[in-house]
Structure 1
Amino acid sequence: MVWPRRSFLRSAQYFTKRALRLRATPHAIAAGIAAGVFASFTPFLGFHFLLAAALAWVLGGNVVASAIGTAVGNPLTFPFIWGATLQLGKAILHGAHPGPHMPVDLGRALRHLEFSQLWEPLIKPMAVGALPLGLAVGLIFYFLTRWTVIAFREQRRKRLAERARRRAEMQSRTATATAG
């Protein structure tokens, strides 16, 4: 269910090509991807698409690209993202000395859906840690995506111009051979 049919590399290539072929400006595609990446760092599972779409709209990004960008958050990356956001959030909220720490019975809290017991020890630090971490990684993805889209389109433009030149050359040869 989690493992892709072909491979993770093939899935990554598919998402990359899908994003590069969107009909939008390089900024819109890059802003959409960055919005999706940022949303993936938040602890609000189930709302990543909505959060990414809203953020992409505010930034003038492409909403489809924002959905593609949320693929950064997946079963392979979530443990690392969650661990990093939790630790960074705790450091921001409590500093180097967190003080007394009460253990959380996560299983009980999830079974009984006790949001109040999850907010303070988990969700709040993860949300706080997600802001700088998601922003940093989102910015990296923005600039990387923008550069890639511009390079891809330039390469494509050159390829199409070369193909048109060869086609015109072929037609002139055919016309010369037919006339002669």
Structure 2
Amino acid sequence: MVFKRRDRRPVWQILWETLWPKGGWARAARYVRHRLNRLPDPPEKIARGIFAGVFTSFTPFYGLHFVISAALAFIMRGNMLAAILATFFGNPLTYVPIGVIAMKTGYWLLGLQDRVPPDHKGNLGRKFIKAGEDLWDNLRALFTARDANWNDLRIFYDEVFFPYMIGGIIPGIICGIIAYYVSLPLITAYQNRRKGVLKEKLAALKKKKAEGRAD
């Protein structure tokens, strides 16, 4: 295959580069910004895509952020590639604060202030593990005589997933709007500057051709 990597990376390297890409997150952020600036669509359409990507980062649908952001951008008539790139806002460095903010907001909106939201240091992690074990055990129960037990998954849904989903809406919209209004003038300025450079190059090329004909 033409695009197949010649050097096959070991699993540990793939996992590590997921957490810490080559060159660090600063370089990855510059790459994303560069790709966003060079998209061919109008700035407003790109900015709508960025809104969709940033908003999606506040949802608990991990593994589906690309699909959800692209679908949301399509509905908003935004750039779908910009939406996918903007999901970079949610990364291993921001997942914890995003999750804490979303869950605390969700507990507040659902009137569960008397119940302390699971913290990311212990309780939340245990609920993720227990829910995963529950799911695995129930999948095995489909092919064995074991009885399915959805108790830990129900607890995970009630205390983690649903509050996270509801609580991520408001901060997701706020951050998405901020990203929209910050990116719009930057992308507009970049595209205008690029158009100016291209016009100058075209004018210089025409002048050179005209001088060649005169000679």
Establish whether TM, by shorter chain, passes 0.5: yes
Which 10-residue stretch deviates more, 134-143 or 157-166? Answer: 157-166
Give the TM-score normalised by the residue count of structure 2.
Answer: 0.74
- Would the aligned equivalents of 2:43 and 2:187 in 1 still touch at CA under 8 Å? yes
Residue 184 of structure 2: aligned partner: 146
- Give 1:56 shift: 0.6
Give the TM-score normalised by the residue count of structure 1.
Answer: 0.87
- Equivalent position SS for 1:94: coil
Gaps of 5+ in 1: none
- Give 1:102 shift: 9.3
State the distance in 2 between where 1:125 and 1:26 align.
Answer: 34
- Quote the sequence identity (%): 31
- Equivalent position SS for 2:168: helix
- Give 1:174 shift: 4.5
Residue correspondence of structure 1 range 1-180 to structure 2 within 5 A: 1=16, 2-94=19-111, 98-100=113-115, 105-106=126-127, 107-113=129-135, 114-175=152-213, 178=215
State the distance in 1 between where 2:73 and 2:35 align.
Answer: 17
- Equivalent position SS for 2:110: helix
The change in CA–CA distance for 1:23 and 1:102 in structure 2 (over 3 A counts) is closer
State the distance in 1 between where 2:44 and 2:117 align.
Answer: 45
For the aligned residues, what is the CA RMSD? 2.0
Gaps of 5+ in 2: 1-15, 136-151
More helix by share: 1
Which 10-residue stretch deviates more, 74-83 or 85-94? Answer: 85-94
The change in CA–CA distance for 1:77 and 1:160 in structure 2 (over 3 A counts) is same
State the distance in 2 between where 1:59 and 1:81 align.
Answer: 23
1:147-176, Cα deviation, whole Å (9 max, x unpaired): 122111110111122223333444445555
- Equivalent position SS for 1:146: helix
